[in-house]
């Protein structure tokens, strides 16, 4: 998975930044909340049609989002609530960003884009839900094409390159395929 490779490649950098943030007294949960709040300017940029700016801001917000887990590990403050809060904040972040796009296309009359945004939101939620339900019954479930990391990369690229339509098609299709891949994985695992 691309997200696992990225974590390996950036481990040292993230750990160094996390140690610095920890020395400043920033808690992992505060960083999680800050990561979410940074998505509000992204939503505004997208809702007002500034797609490349929204893409850049989303990339910056995502960097903060990737640091809360590193900070928790570096400070030895990994908690069940922190992991839960991080997952919930990720869902809110994704919904907030896609809401910005939805508001833009409601103003401009992009009917196809509105449907694609709905399908992308639905698929993204199902990717998370299938993992949570699988883990709830004791099955690890990280399979699939599009984890949150890949979804963010795809959206950032679509926004910065002004190819939002193509990015929305990819998100709408691939998120739902990923959810189905996870259903298949759980079925195979439980059928053995």
Q: Any idea which residues carry the catalytic annotation?
A: 90
For residue 14, what pLDDT band results from cuts at 50, 70 and 90?
Answer: confident
Q: Is the C-alpha dihedral spanning 161, 165, 166, 172 positive or negative?
A: positive
Judged against a pLDDT cut of 90, whether residue 150 lies above it is answered with: yes
Q: Do 10 and 63 touch, CB atoms closer than 8 A? A: no
Where are the chain's structural domains?
2-191
User: Phi-psi category of 156—alpha, beta or left, where left has phi over 0 and alpha has psi -120 to 50?
Assistant: alpha
pLDDT 10s digits, 27-57: 899 989 999 999 999 999 999 999 999 999 9
- pLDDT of the residue at 117: 98
For residue 105, what pLDDT band results from cuts at 50, 70 and 90?
Answer: very high
pLDDT 10s digits, 51-99: 999 999 999 999 888 888 888 888 888 899 999 999 999 999 999 999 9
**CATH number attached to the domain at 2-191:** 1.20.120.1760
- pLDDT of the residue at 44: 98
- The one-character DSSP state at 163 is -
Mean per-residue pLDDT, 141-146: 91
60-82 burial, b for 16+ CB within 10 Å, e for fewer? ebbebbbbbbbbbebbeeeeeeb
Picking from 16-20, 23-27, 81-85, 167-171, which range would have the lowest pLDDT averaged per residue?
Answer: 16-20
The C-alpha atoms of residue 110 and residue 165 are separated, in whole angstroms, by 10
For residue 16, what pLDDT band results from cuts at 50, 70 and 90?
Answer: confident
- pLDDT of the residue at 65: 82
- pLDDT of the residue at 23: 82
- pLDDT of the residue at 33: 94
Q: Considering only CA atoms, which of 91, 2, 1, 110 is closest in space to residue 46?
A: 110
Say what angle helices 164-191 and 111-136 make with each other, to 10 degrees. Answer: 30
pTM (two decimals)? 0.89
Listed in sequence order, the DSSP H helices in 24-163 are: 28-37, 39-47, 51-74, 80-108, 111-136, 148-160
- pLDDT of the residue at 179: 97
Place of tokens 């939503």: 43
- pLDDT of the residue at 26: 86
Number of residues written out for the chain: 192
Percent of the chain with pLDDT strictly greater than 70: 96
What does pLDDT average to over the chain?
92
The C-alpha atoms of residue 125 and residue 110 are separated, in whole angstroms, by 23
């Amino acid at each position: 998975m691309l997200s696992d490779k990225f974590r390996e490649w950036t481990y040292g950098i993230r750990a160094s930044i996390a140690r610095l943030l920890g020395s400043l007294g920033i808690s992992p949960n505060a960083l999680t909340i800050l990561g979410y709040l940074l998505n509000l300017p992204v939503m505004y940029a997208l809702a007002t049609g500034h797609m490349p700016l929204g893409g850049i801001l989303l990339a910056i917000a995502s960097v903060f989002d990737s640091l809360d887990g590193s900070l928790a590990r570096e400070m030895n403050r990994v908690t069940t609530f922190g992991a839960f809060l991080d997952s919930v904040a990720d869902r809110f972040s994704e919904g907030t960003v896609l809401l910005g796009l939805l508001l833009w296309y409601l103003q401009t009359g992009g009917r196809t884009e509105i449907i694609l945004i709905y399908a992308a939101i639905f698929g993204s939620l199902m990717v998370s839900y299938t993992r949570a339900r699988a883990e709830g019954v004791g099955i690890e479930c990280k399979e699939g094409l599009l984890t949150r990391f890949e979804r963010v990369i795809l959206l950032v690229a679509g926004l910065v390159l002004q190819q939002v339509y193509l990015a929305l098609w990819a998100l709408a299709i691939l998120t739902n395929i990923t959810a189905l891949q996870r259903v298949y994985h759980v079925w195979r695992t439980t059928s053995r």
